[in-house]
Amino acid sequence: MGALEGSRRRTGFQINYPCYSSLLTCLAKLNMGLMTFLVYKRMVEDGYVPGGIDWRTIINALSKNGYVQAVEMFVARILKVGFVLDVHVYTSLVLVNCRAGDLIEAFRVFDLMSEKDGCGVNSVTYSILVHGLCEVGRLDEACKVKEEMSEKGCPPSTRTYTVLIKASCDVGMISKAFGLLDEMTKRGCKPNVHTYTVLIDGLCRLGKIEEANGMFQKMLKEGLLPCIVTYNALINGYCKEGKVVSAFELLGVMERRNCKPNIRTYNELIEGLCKVGRPYKAMALLRKVIDNGLLPTEVTFNILIDGFCRAGQLDMAFKILHSMNSVGVKSDEFTYTVLIDSLCKIGNLEQANAFLGVMVKKGITPNEVTLTALIHGYCKIGDIRYAFMLFEGLVKDGYLIGPHTFNLFLDVLSKEVKIVEENAIFGKMLKYGLVPSVVTYTILVDGLCRAGDTNSSLKMLEFMKQSGCPPNVYTYTVVISGLCQSGKVEEAHNLLIEMSQVGVSPNDITYASLVKSHIKAGRLNSAFEIVSTMFQNGCLPSIQIYFTLLMGLVEMAADTGARFSIADISTESSITGEKSVDCLSNFVFREMDFYYAVQLRDKIRKYCGHTIDVYNFLISGLCRVGRLLEVDNLLQDMVKHGFTPSSHICSSIIEHFCEDHNFDQCLEWIKRLLEYGCIPSFASYSAVIVGLHNEVAIPDQILSYNPASILQINAECKINMHKFYEWL
């Protein structure tokens, strides 16, 4: 367009009518409605009269961009000059109203077309209407329109099906999308590149990367060449799953097939590297982007800044921000929000506030996420007063669009058991018209349970049901835990039954509260019955539950005295700063009689009939404290009952020997594990190889280059490595 205008000014060159007509068609295909209109004006100025095909082209181009008034003006103009409205013009009217979101008017035009004396409708008209319905989330109605097409003798096209498949994928209904794919192939309607791309993208968004790769291979078998959008969707899927190597392999395939990557391709790869903790590799990839002649966008820089912030490399993130500004790429609210959030997390509120000031100075309005990050930072360092001042400002300026910030304050007050203040914040939340989420109610319930008011927490559950915000597993778990701590175990049991009745599945934390409360009350059999219920409901016990049961068995023995107690679990150790349960676990496994391990295994077998996890738990614990004879006993019993030891067990045993530098026994044990059918992991083999290589300590004589010492060390190293090779 610029070249044509330049020639016109310099030489007076003027294109003819066929050129204008071709230009209008090309611009319409590129969805450039405004440019089409400007070319039409120049065409008229040059004395050319548009023909019928030109009018249709201009109307279609403007319709694609949703310019309703302009389209109506052109329709009035062509009627004035004597042209009859045909199916193409009417279809454009349906399109423009769909693009403008006015489906009532779109259906009105469609009905006019469908009348006896109307121009009739075609597959394109139907497809546009289907697309319009899908864009506003009316998928069921869109499917009905598709069925109507078939009934009216106007079979759905590939485009019609692809639009419906995309809409199904967008709402996570992947099964429906594949049902539509089967239907279209049965009707002889072949899927195209766009159809496959939509399905690949939908599968990737659901984390089904293997299925997405299968669709990609099927696409290739059918002779369809993937476009850059297809490759980008699959690369994004691999990166989201942390399979960055596969993503780079696909990049290689892409380049070999002469499909040149764009900046979005590289952005996906850079983000993938950042997600797996390789931001410096991502920086190296950015250099390749620039070398390939592509310019990084603000998205590229934001991904890198976020990646370095997540890795705790804030200095590098600041350098990237400086580079971003120096190359003329503007930082946006996301850039500053990431930096402010990271500074708040490390307690550097002064610098976080400074960045907020820079943000405002540049004319970037801080959003709710930015200010909530600051509020959270002040709450974290205990400056609730200043956090509340920021919160008041957030409320006053109308930044609040969701309940998250209120939830933050409610959580702080809940942990401090300030019920009155909690209620005040909750009241303010309702005053500003914000709808409490299930998280909000769960925080309030937690506060009531911490205060010991379990009756009010139960009333809150009922209120949630009535207000259309049913409690989830976390809400129920908080109440059950509160009831157990108050000694109301029977009520906790009833609530557990209620959960299952309303379709909420308890998790291992829910069951753990009940198990612990029964054991504290000395009802060991009741605790095992709870674990049995867990198994029946398909929920496997956690290590903490197994340890609680083991503690219960040990505590019930008369000879243990008061050396350890079930009450010690989940308390903080002031000496180590770690959970005392970790220290207690090692102590119990070291001091207890092996009889209790056998008893736990037998009890689980009796109540649950499934013992593989309890074997793993016991073997790992005994291995940590070096009780290898008992470990071997359990391994033999495990194999006897048809179980294969897991790689986790292998790792625990090999790790124990490597830490003690006892590699002779380690190799013997690896042989034994292989006989039991257990295959050690690559990491375990690596640990043994490195350990054997480093086993011989370098004596002081080496520093004086004593030849005899060097020969001795070399011989010993060879002997150790020979041991390993011989074993291998």
Domain segments of the chain: what residues? Answer: 1-121, 507-610
- Model confidence at 559, pLDDT cuts 50, 70, 90, reads very low
- Model confidence at 560, pLDDT cuts 50, 70, 90, reads very low
The proportion of the chain whose per-residue pLDDT surpasses 70, expressed as a percent, equals: 90
pLDDT, tens digit, 9 for 90 and up, residues 510-553: 899 889 988 888 888 888 998 898 888 888 888 889 898 998 88
Q: What is the pLDDT of residue 574?
A: 32
Two tokens at 365? Answer: 């309005």
State the average pLDDT over residues 667-695. 79
One-letter-per-residue 3-state SS of 669-688: HHHHHHHCCCCCCHHHHHHH
- Model confidence at 288, pLDDT cuts 50, 70, 90, reads confident
- Model confidence at 705, pLDDT cuts 50, 70, 90, reads very low
State the average pLDDT over residues 221-244. 92
Q: What is the dihedral sign for C-alpha 681, 684, 686, 692? A: negative
One-letter-per-residue 3-state SS of 377-445: HHHHCCCHHHHHHHHHHHHHCCCCCCCHHHHHHHHHHHHCCCHHHHHHHHHHHHHCCCCCCHHHHHHHH
Query: Who has greater pLDDT, 578 or 303?
Result: 303
Q: Above 60 in pLDDT, residue 716?
A: no
- Model confidence at 579, pLDDT cuts 50, 70, 90, reads very low
Place of tokens 């308390």: 571
- Model confidence at 373, pLDDT cuts 50, 70, 90, reads confident
CB–CB of 234/205 below 8 Å?
Answer: no
∠ CA 188-189-195, nearest 5°, is 145
Q: What is the pLDDT of residue 291?
A: 85
Query: Who has greater pLDDT, 680 or 156?
Result: 156
| Backbone angle region of 66, left / alpha / beta, with phi > 0 → left and psi within -120 to 50 → alpha | left
State the average pLDDT over residues 327-334. 88
State the average pLDDT over residues 448-470. 87
Q: What is the pLDDT of residue 704?
A: 46
Q: Could you say which of 1.25.40.10, 1.10.1040.10, 3.40.710.10, 3.30.565.60 is the CATH number of the domain covering 1-121?
A: 1.25.40.10
Q: What is the pLDDT of residue 263?
A: 92
Q: What is the pLDDT of residue 44?
A: 87
Cβ density class 325-339: b for 16+ within 10 Å, e for less: eeeebebeebbbbbb
Q: What is the pLDDT of residue 723?
A: 53
